Every structure is written in C-alpha cells, then in structure tokens.
Amino acid sequence: MALLENRLEGFWVGVQTAKGTAATTAAKRGRKVGGGTAVNVSRGAEVYSDGNRFPSRTHYVDTVLGEGNPVMQMQPDVTGYLNWLILGSETVVGAADPFTHTAKPTVGSPGKWFSSWKLVGESIVQRQRHADCRMTSLRMEASAANKVAKITPSFTILDPGEVVNPAGGTAPALPAAADSGNAPVFHTESEGAFQINAVVHRGIASWAVVINDAVTPAFGDAVTPYDVAFGMSEIMLDGITLLVDGQGLTFYNVQTYGSATPAAGTKPQKVVPAAGAFTVDMVKSANRSVKIACPDVLWAAPPSIEGNPEGGVTELALAATANTPGTGDIISVISKSSDPAYA
C-alpha cells in the first residue's frame, strides 16, 4: 500500500460571517513552507478503588482543540488578508489593480472569525476544515540569510478537524481557490528603505514584527471550547539585528547616554529615551508591495557592544514594544495587490 505523500499539501483561509458559521469558500491559498494545523485530543483518566492490587480507571475525553501555525511566503495579497483578519479593519484606495490596502486596528472592529482548510497527500489523502478559528498572533519576518519574507498566523480553532470532500465535490469540500500568482516580497526589496527612528539604516540583517492578540480558549459545558478570552494585546518588534557601523553606534549612544556623541565623563542616562519608530518597505514592483510601519516604539535597552579576538561582524540584537501615538495608528500594514476591499 502506498504511503501518504506529505510533500503534497495545501492551506486555505476564508472569513466567516459569524462565530458558529463555518465558511464554505476560501479567499486565499497560501504558499506554505512550514508549520501547519493540528487537531489535539486530550484524554484523561481517574483511578478508582475496586479492591484489586492494580486499580481500574475511568477514561474520558478532556478537550478537543485545534491550533494552527502555518509558515507562508509573504505574498502581498495574502499579507493584506491575514492582517485584516487579525487587526479587524482596513482602508482601501484604488478603482482597479493595484488596490492599496491599509490594515490597522480600529475600536469597535475586533479580529475576524475564519475557517481554514488543510490538504495532505495525493492518492492517500487527508482533507480537513477547521471552523471558528481566531488569530492569536501574526508574525512577519525576513533576513539577509532568509531573503523570502515569511508570514505566520498562529490561531486557536474551536471547531477543528471536520473531514471534507475534494474540491468540487459535495459540501463540505475543499475550496477551489487557487494561488493568486503574486510573488512574495524579499528582505532585499527594502534596500535603502529600512528606517529606525526615521533614519535609514542599511545594516539591518534581520527583523520581525509580531501582532499578538493574546487569545486563549475558554471551556464551558463541552469538550470543545465555548469561546475565546483575550489577554493583554501587544505589538512587538523582535529579532532585529543591526550591524554596528557609525549609525549603529549612534543608535546605541542615544539609547544608552541620550546623546549621539557623548562627551568624556558621560554616564548612562537614568531616564527612558524618547519614543522611536520602525519602518520596512518591501517593493516588488509599482503594483505589488508590503510596507509595515510602527510610528511609536519604545526600544529595549540595547546590549553592550563587545569585541571579539577572532574578528567578524559586530551586531546589536534589538527589540521594542509599539505604543499608540498621539495621532495615527499603532501599526499600519500597507499592501498593494489586485484584491478589492475584503469582506
């Protein structure tokens, strides 16, 4: 008997009209390169005394919960759609291709419920639909070592693992949505456009932006979750590697001493530095791009700059937390694609 060919797989996603109403069609098929979706069944047992040396147990299903963390290439259209799902709102400019989508958080527009679909195999096949998905976090990242930018939605699934028919078959079935054909953006397509504190830095070797909505499942009278609860949401800059050149040293000095050129005798400042900013703008073409802007961030204190007897590149590992500015949005994810407004 043939083995399941796990190199053949598919991942789709589509918004739901409401919690409890699974989507029947998908809006996007992602180019998956890692991660996946899983159905996690937890079983428990309680020991009871029956007079025997080796006691018996009563077995039960504790929880049935799904989770997803597919890693995908950052296509502009998929990026815009996933950011709309977690941030909850967008503005769209354009009457025809390209449409410019600006995803952003808005009070009164929470994240969206959505369904996802999974295909693994060809002749030996697993097909599943996961309904009532809610995004926990969305990670966007790229680096000089991994130039194809990646986007990873992590989500909780309240109604996981429904078996479905092949695409075109009797409902429920796999969606027919095909890859959009949009090429993913690259780390190097932001050449000369990486900005830290409104200053262009060429020595950005890696970066990541993480939108975290802090979703956790809440259980009631069933083994599947009743709903989700929310913790402290935050937007973080993570894994930013800055090569230390003259600009890198200036950044360190400002963050540590409060001056780009501290004089002899200057000691580390005892106050929090002024807020900064971070921007990455990956332009594939005039009609396809992804720009991420956080206009108000507080950088974590940078680590000390150390020497190395063996030489090599000097790097600073940076991280920051985004704050809501006096005017504007805490984050804007601007993507150009052929998609009209999402709904």
Confidence grade of residue 2 (pLDDT, cut at 50, 70, 90)? confident
- Cis before residue 55, ω within 30 degrees of 0? no
Q: Is the pLDDT of residue 148 over 80?
A: yes
Determine the Cα–Cα distance for residues 196 and 190; give it in Å rounded to an integer.
13
| pLDDT the model gives residue 49 | 93
The overall average pLDDT reported for the chain is 96
| pLDDT the model gives residue 107 | 84
Please state, for a pLDDT cut of 90, what percent of the chain lies above it.
Answer: 97
* Chain segment 178-232, per-residue pLDDT in tens: 999 999 999 999 999 999 999 999 999 999 999 999 999 999 999 999 999 999 9
* Chain segment 109-130, per-residue pLDDT in tens: 899 999 999 999 998 999 999 9
* Chain segment 95-114, per-residue pLDDT in tens: 999 999 999 998 888 999 99
* Chain segment 10-60, per-residue pLDDT in tens: 999 999 999 999 999 999 999 999 999 999 999 999 999 999 999 999 999
Whole-model pTM?
Answer: 0.95
Q: Is the pLDDT of residue 1 over 80?
A: no
